[in-house]
Amino acid sequence: MFWKFKRRWSGVMWKNQLFYFSAVIVFFLFVNVFLFQRNFASLEAENNVDPGGTISKLNYDRAEVTKTRQVFQERNTRHNLRYMFENKLRKLLDIMESNLEHTATYGSNENEIPFEKYFSDRLLYCDDILNITDMTYMASGWTKAVYKGTFKGSPVAIKTVDVKGQEVTTCVEAGSSQTACYIKAAKKIVKEIVVLQAIAGENILKVLGFCLPRNADDNLWVAMVTELGEAVDLIKLLQMSWEDRLKVCLDITKIINYMSKTSYGSMSMNDFRRQQFVLINGTLKLSDVDDTGFEDPSCVVKADCDVTFSSANFSQRTRCIHNKCVDYNEKRNVYNAGRHFVTFLLPHGAPPNLQPIIEKVVDGYNDLTMTSQQLLKLMNDIVTSYKTGSYLNRTKSDHDHSKYSVLHESDLPGLYDYRCRLSLSIASCTISVYDEHEAEDVCNNEEQCEGFVMTKHITWSGRRLVHLKNGTGKPAYNADTTLYIRQR
């Protein structure tokens, strides 16, 4: 009987132990599932970290993913464009070298290359360049000589290799052949052909055509034909009216802003000088680009990104991100543009009410405290204020009682002209004004002024030209002018 009781007790204990172990297993399974879900949630959160390192919500994360995708698409687009740019450059260099050296391995003759694909805007070819008339030497530099001529009644400029220039002469003296030295110099012109067409824009010199020699015995030279511009020199800039200098400062700001965001990358100018620009109908244009690049410098340590200007004993550090000095080229271009143009052209002779904003622009250039985009905004604000006359800060009662008599359709041609400090003309006192009231204010402040002639001629900013007079005789008829005579 004892053994029966012991067997029954053992069976009950076995069942209890089985139940206990089952409960423990279920508990551990539950804990593991809970921990797994928790860890999985944290892993998902890690995947939702944005580039700044902060945990994002799902909708914000999707926006970041979209933004990141756009960044990569822009990089791919820029890479593809740069590849096309380099392909064009290689193609032209290949044609030039193979034709000149009679070593056409994989080159193409100029007549066989599909120029419509590579240079769709090309308007002039070699035979056209031979028909340019009135060729006159203009200037030369280290590598190139520049001529001006006439093509179908329009003025053009022709850039070609200066065979007597320092580049070729130094190369020949070093022992290289004349052909090899010519090719070395001509590569810079070929690069300019491609670069100027790649970055074509409002303030970029337009390439009308080019020519590559067909063989070494060809009378044709490597040549590029562009629109004809006027050289930019310091004396000419200082002799300009303030309004024209404002246009130059606006244009150079547009240029450096455009260079900071080209489709090929941030553009650098390794030799930034006024000689690299020309004036065409009052518009400043970039013309010399043979010593340029399209990528910010590489960096390993922060010190690699110091932008140094030894001539001014000034430097500023940019950020080193992904082994690139971000904004390096832009800062260098901003500082040089300020030094060669804005800081001495913009303040002198400016209207007093515009001086505060002009000081901000000058400080932004000198101290590199603004981006080119911020500087362009301020320059546009100055131009808008000047165009609209808002800088005059007038009240309604300022000109309620005019002290001038008005003679419509009247003029004093060639009479009573005198020279004044801010004149647009050497022979007379000619200025631009927003309206007749501003002209009255100017005349009132001129001791010699006895009246002025308001014309219908408009400047680039939309302002009217007036001629101040130091006397008032018998007026002549002119349907396009109005004479204002000061009442003493």
Kindly list the catalytic residues.
Answer: 271
CA 295 to chain centre: 15
The answer to whether 462 touches 432, Cβ cutoff 8 Å, is: no
Structure tokens at 430: 């000619």
C-alpha to C-alpha distance for 78 and 413, rounded to whole angstroms: 58
Residue 93: φ, ψ to 5°: -65, -40
Q: Is the dihedral angle over the CA atoms 397, 398, 402, 403 positive or is it negative? A: positive
C-alpha to C-alpha distance for 260 and 330, rounded to whole angstroms: 5
Give the position of tokens 């409002």: 202
C-alpha to C-alpha distance for 264 and 75, rounded to whole angstroms: 10
Largest CA distance in the chain: 154
E strand intervals along 257-309: 268-269, 277-280, 283-286, 292-293, 306-309
C-alpha to C-alpha distance for 421 and 243, rounded to whole angstroms: 14
C-alpha to C-alpha distance for 384 and 88, rounded to whole angstroms: 40
Helix, strand, coil shares of the chain, percent, nearest 5, are 45, 20, 30
Compute how many other C-beta atoms are within 10 angstroms of the C-beta atom of residue 446: 18
The answer to whether 317 touches 326, Cβ cutoff 8 Å, is: no
Helices 328-337 and 355-367, packing angle to 10 deg: 130
Concatenated DSSP letters of 188-229: HHHHHHHHHHHT--TTBPPEEEEE--SSTT-S---EEEEE--
Torsion-angle region of 349 (φ positive above 0: left; ψ -120 to 50: alpha; else: beta): left
Structure tokens at 472: 């008032």
